[in-house]
Amino acid sequence: MRKINEKLYSWASIIDEKALDQAEVTATMPFIDPHVALMPDAHPGMGATVGSVIPTVGAVMPAAVGVDIGCGMVAVRTQFTEEQLRSQRRSLAFLREQIERAVPLSPGRYNRKVWGGAPAFIAQLEELAGQESVAPEDFAKNWRLQLGSLGGGNHFIEVTADEQGTVWTFLHSGSRGVGNRIARRFIGAAQKLAQQKSRELPDRDLAYLTDADPQYAEYLSHLHWAQEFARLNRELMMDRVVDQVGRFMGQEVERLEEVNCHHNYTEIEEHFGQDVLVSRKGAIAAHVGVRGLIPGSMGAASYVVTGKGNEMSLCSAPHGAGREYSRTEARKTFTQEDLRRRMEGIEYRDLAAFIDEIPDAYKDIDVVMADAADLVSVDHVLHQLVNVKGQ
């Protein structure tokens, strides 16, 4: 841990000046209490640094939560071994293709109909919408069809194996288009309010809503709904992935262990003796005994962890490797052949569209985990067998 100033502490041994400058600016906001915590994977984001934990009192900054509300990970430990998986008559390419058929991939692609376990999850979300006075149709009329879809970018589905050769299913996604539109509407509302009330901002993406603003409670209600959508979205996709693994193995999957955690969200928590609104933008909760998931980049290891409850970090930990190259820079720097070398031995779709997800575009996950040693303990290290992504 490095103390940057009274309002900013960092656990990142690898961090560029832009990300650090951005975090220092965020930490100057008058409602930050006690301090901003920068995670080992910190890198520049919209307004606030990705990989930052931001505690606020009486205010919230929608852009500091991010546009993929509730984005996170879910993993399931199965009874199968890597050896058993590889010994099947059909190839891992077949398993990948079946998963790709079961889960809609890529931005703008959703289910054609509501099916499987979706109706029960939709009923839960409809009930929550009523309780929170949220009308998701105002943001996306097809939100029900979005449930159970992956998206693109760094979202993924994986079949992995741990250090003992046990097979896990693992995926990363969030609140899809409906969450994105909710986020953007309230980011815009905060910026408009800043103009109307002449609020001085060091960055317009740090525009905020105070508990005296009518939009404050409205935003938190929508935030809560979108976070639940994201959690159930992962649950539904995982059901479909587990089903495909079971079909591939000719035996129903036993869910021996399951972890589901957000890394873009806001929650009321107690820290240093007071209740604060903690926004984790690219960070997971790491309270004592709380399980979490920290993925590496495409082709790199991922980790199943348990929190240590480090209070200075606001009981938080990194959410992944963290980018070192922007997507544009990565495409200029690396080639499809570079990606093929890094993905050797892993079943994946060999597309140039994935060059910007090459592990070299990210921080070394081993360094990130070393920086996080006082934040979490490592339970399992997972290596990829099958990788599924949307374009």
- In 3D, which of 302, 363, 310 has the Cα closest to residue 37? 310
Provide the whole-model pTM: 0.97
In angstroms, the CA 51 to CA 76 distance is: 25
Average pLDDT in the chain? 97
> CA 363, 262, 29: angle at the middle one, nearest 5?
75
In angstroms, the CA 15 to CA 38 distance is: 10
Dihedral sign of CA atoms 322, 327, 332, 336 in order: positive
At 156 the pLDDT is 97
Looking at residue 127, its amino acid is E
The answer to whether 336 and 278 have CB atoms below 8 angstroms apart is no
DSSP states along 348-359: ----GGGGGG-G
* SS3 labels along 176-228: HHHHHHHHHHHHHHHHHHHHHCCCCCCCHHHCCEECCCHHHHHHHHHHHHHHH
At 235 the pLDDT is 98
Looking at residue 252, its amino acid is E
Report, as an integer, the average pLDDT of 310-319: 98
Looking at residue 169, its amino acid is T
Q: What is the pLDDT of residues 364-375, one digit of tens each?
A: 999 999 999 999
In angstroms, the CA 224 to CA 375 distance is: 26
At 264 the pLDDT is 97
Q: What is the pLDDT of residues 173-221, one digit of tens each?
A: 999 999 999 999 999 999 999 999 999 999 999 999 999 999 999 999 9
Start-to-end CA span in the chain (Å): 37
In the predicted structure, residue 391 carries a pLDDT above the cut 90: no
The answer to whether 139 and 365 have CB atoms below 8 angstroms apart is no
The answer to whether 60 and 208 have CB atoms below 8 angstroms apart is yes
DSSP state of 93: H
In the predicted structure, residue 56 carries a pLDDT above the cut 90: yes
Going along the chain, which residue ranges are E strands?
2-5, 8-10, 36-43, 50-56, 59-60, 72-81, 156-161, 166-173, 209-210, 257-262, 264-271, 274-281, 283-285, 291-294, 302-307, 316-318, 376-389
In the predicted structure, residue 268 carries a pLDDT above the cut 90: yes
Q: What is the pLDDT of residues 216-257, one digit of tens each?
A: 999 999 999 999 999 999 999 999 999 999 999 999 999 999
Beta bridge partners of 170: 75, 158
> CA 21, 23, 24: angle at the middle one, nearest 5?
65
Report, as an integer, the average pLDDT of 118-135: 98
Domain edges within the chain: 2-285+304-328+336-356+364-389
Q: What is the pLDDT of residues 23-32, one digit of tens each?
A: 999 999 999 9
What are the φ/ψ torsions at residue 24 (nearest 5 degrees)? Answer: -65, -40
Q: What is the pLDDT of residues 141-165, one digit of tens each?
A: 999 999 999 999 999 999 999 999 9
Catalytic residues: 319
Report, as an integer, the average pLDDT of 79-88: 98
At 150 the pLDDT is 98
387 CA to centre of own chain = 17
The percent of residues above 70 in pLDDT, for the chain, comes to 100
CATH fold for domain 2-285+304-328+336-356+364-389: tRNA-splicing ligase RtcB (3.90.1860)
